[in-house]
Amino acid sequence: MVDAGKQTVVVVGAGPRGTSVLERLLARHARGGTGELHIDLVDPYPAGPGHVWRTDQSRLYLMNTQSFFPTLIPGHAPAAPPLLGSSFDAWRRGQREDPSPELSTADKTELVGLESTGFPSRALYGRYLRWTFNRLLESLPDGVSVRVHETHARRVARHGTGFAVGLSTGGTLDADHVVLALGHLPARLNERARRLADKAKASGLNYWPPAVPNDVQWDGLPAGEKVLVRGMGLNFFDVLGQLTEGRGGRFEDTGLAPGEAVRYVKSGREPLILAASRRGTPYRAKAELDRYYPASVRLRFLSEDAVAGLRAMGATAGFDHDVWPLLHRDAIWAYYSTLVRAVPGAVSDDGFLDRLDAVLDLDAATDGLPGRSWERALAVLVDASVVPEHRLDLNGLARPLAGRSFASHAELDDAVLGYLREDAAGSARGEDDPVKMAIGALNAGRAVVKSLVADGGITEESWLGELRGWFESFVEGLASGPPALRMDQLAALVRAGVVRFIGPDPVFSVEDGQFRADSPWVKDTPWRARHLVEALAPANRVLENQSSLLEGLLADGLVRPRIMIAADGEAVTTAGLDVTAPPYRPLDANGHAVEGLFVLGLQLSAVQWGTAIAAESGPVYRSGDRTLRDADAIAAAILG
């Protein structure tokens, strides 16, 4: 620890990641710091919640993880007093018993009905973040001072041996160290979207670009008109909520089976929502479980030990060659072991699981064709033993409409409605649903893959062409879906005529003064509308950002994007910054580490995979609380 003098640290971004850096600095200083430490946090949004988790946003915006999952406080190291063990779920329980004066009436109402397995609103999680931040300021260690600046940092530049941070308010902060915890940044449209937006503007149409949902004024979409919505991931359900319940509509219980469990009662203020995505269907919903990873799923092949072995190879592992065959086996075992247990009659062979176990253990290279011998043996076994309609097709799960064409929009709507009913029923079965358990294995494997690929664990061509090239979108559509409730609600909106679908592989254009949207798989008149909403967040790519701070850092050569080499030898500019190994100092334009400057969060997307998810309380896999360990590494480097 520094034992003399005074250190100054500026943390740019006071959302969850910036608050994590603050907490780690305070915790480490409390354990033995003797010098003075001053910390400035710069963010135009409230410290703690930051931009995304603001406490004044609609309660219809839900988290994508259950109450038991997220935390801002690490479990692997002593926390800054008095916050040891203060996960969101612990805070939730405490606030139910003894509500803080900081809680709003809406917070208290939500807490009454929120259980550990429930999905909190983002506003309530923001309240936890704000509460945590306030407790940190109330218990500062001796010798530490903190100041919050509710403004933008417009410039970070070298100044002597440290840095000068220019503020939008006109002041300047001097710092020995600067931490960039920038979070989501505004971004320029890609070329395709920009052309569409330009044509829309010329035709007087309304184009709504990618945005954080709470930043959008949804009242601008008129009732009764057709609205095209491109994208059926998580932001899609945010859009749906604002255009239905947010306008006075309501869902009522029917007492029927999942998929038909609710009906929608219109307010009359809804538009007609025309939904589109490459798959033609929304993400699959999460299974209803009492934990994040299913209890019945154990990774036998892509285990933490297997990953440690691959890491020991250095940067030579390939995703398709070394990783996917292992995770594929785990998904197969999770599916069929659940099928045998939960679906009597689906498998005709009493010894099926023993034979499956032997097949999955086959050496994938015994016949000189890596990755194929066990797959051929598996196909023979499944053909002989499993009823056809119960055989696993992972690609079919990810693209449920693939290979189908539709004579009309109504026929397509019926097909998607069937998919929604089936998916809702599967979520309700939880641990007894083979499909959801296969997806559970993929989700668990994703956590293990994160540890493997971080900081150069796979080859660059594999990162670009395999992990990011196909697996990312594949697994997100299966394992990153909304709460199961959303499937029931969407099915109800379809039955009420509020939502209709465009079809897989949609094509958008501007013709005759209107947006046009159609699918090559739907033989019907193209949809036309005057409004198009991009239901996705702004691109997380450092060269497409519209942040004067980051643009200035790039222009000054203090940071640069990471370049990777693809399989064809082409240099590819990646989405994230070029950084050292942890504690993630950026590399300057000449490739030298910038001492005293650190990066945390989304801009690490070229060296980490899946940087947006919150830290996990009591992580099952090593990657679960990675963002907190990264914050701790930065604090350690700053304090010595």
**In this predicted model, what pLDDT tens digit does every residue of 390-415 receive, in sequence order?**
999 999 999 999 999 999 999 999 99
Look at residue 316 in the predicted model and tell me its pLDDT: 79
Domains of the chain as residue ranges with CATH: 6-186+541-639 (3.50.50.60), 191-281+483-534 (3.50.50.60), 304-476 (no CATH)
Q: What is the pLDDT of residues 549-598, one digit of tens each?
A: 999 999 999 999 999 999 999 999 999 999 999 999 999 999 999 999 99
pLDDT-derived band at 79, boundaries 50, 70, 90: confident
Residue 372: what pLDDT?
Answer: 66
SS3 of 214, please?
Answer: helix
pLDDT at residue 3 in the model: 38
Q: Can you give the pLDDT at residue 365?
A: 40
Which tens digit of pLDDT belongs to each residue from 161-205?
999 999 999 999 999 999 999 999 999 999 999 999 999 999 999
pLDDT over 80 at 327, yes or no? yes
Provide the percentage of residues in the chain whose pLDDT is more than 90: 91
Asked whether residue 113 carries a pLDDT value surpassing 90, the answer given is: yes
Band of pLDDT at residue 369, cut at 50, 70 and 90: very low
Compute the mean pLDDT over every residue in the chain, rounded to the nearest whole number: 94
Window from 80-84, 407-411, 546-550 with minimum mean pLDDT: 80-84
Quick one: 476 exposed, middle or buried, by C-beta within 10 A (0-12, 13-18, 19+)?
middle
With cut-offs at 50, 70 and 90, classify the pLDDT of residue 315: low
Mean pLDDT for 352-374 is 73
pLDDT score, position 1 = 36
Residue 414: its pLDDT value, please? 98
Cβ–Cβ under 8 Å, residues 448 and 299? yes
User: pLDDT grade, residue 364 (50/70/90)?
Assistant: very low
Could you write out the three-class secondary structure of 121-161?
A: EHHHHHHHHHHHHHHHHHCCCCCEEEEEECCCEEEEEEECC
Q: Could you read off the pLDDT of 220-231 as tens digits, one per residue?
A: 999 999 999 999
Handedness of CA 489, 118, 229, 478 (dihedral sign): negative
What is the average per-residue pLDDT within 499-520? 97
Hey, is 102 helix, strand or coil? coil
Contact present, 612 and 536 (Cβ < 8 Å): no
